[in-house]
Amino acid sequence: MSYILNIETATKNCSVALAKDGQTILCKEIAEEGYSHAERLHVFIEEIIQDAGIHFQDVHAIAVSQGPGSYTGLRIGVSAAKGLCYALNIPLIAVDTLQVLALQAKVAEGLIVPMLDARRMEVYSAIFNAKLEKQRDVQAEIITENSFENSSETIYFVGDCAEKCKTVLTQPNFVFLEEVKYPSAKEMSALSFSKFQNSDFEDVAYFEPYYLKDFMITTSKKVG
Domain ranges (residues) in the chain: 3-97+183-214, 98-181
For position 219, what pLDDT does the model report?
47
For position 215, what pLDDT does the model report?
45
CA triple 100-52-12, angle to 5 deg = 35
Residue 155: other Cβ atoms inside 10 A: 20
pLDDT in tens, the chain (224 residues): 899 999 999 999 999 999 999 999 999 999 977 667 888 999 999 999 999 999 999 999 999 999 998 888 999 999 999 999 999 999 999 999 999 999 999 999 999 999 998 878 889 999 999 999 999 999 888 999 999 988 889 999 999 988 899 999 999 999 999 999 999 999 999 999 999 999 999 999 999 998 765 444 444 445 54
What fold is seen in the domain 98-181? Nucleotidyltransferase; domain 5 (3.30.420)
* Contact yes or no for 223/150 (Cβ under 8 A): yes
- Give CA–CA dist 192/105, Å, rounded: 18
Q: Which residues face 7 on adjacent strands?
A: 16, 64
- Give CA–CA dist 20/15, Å, rounded: 17
- Give CA–CA dist 191/203, Å, rounded: 18
For position 38, what pLDDT does the model report?
86
For position 48, what pLDDT does the model report?
98
Q: Which CATH number fits domain 3-97+183-214: 3.90.1300.10, 3.30.420.40, 2.60.40.10, 3.40.50.720?
A: 3.30.420.40
Fold identical between 3-97+183-214 and 98-181?
Answer: yes
pTM assigned to the model: 0.91
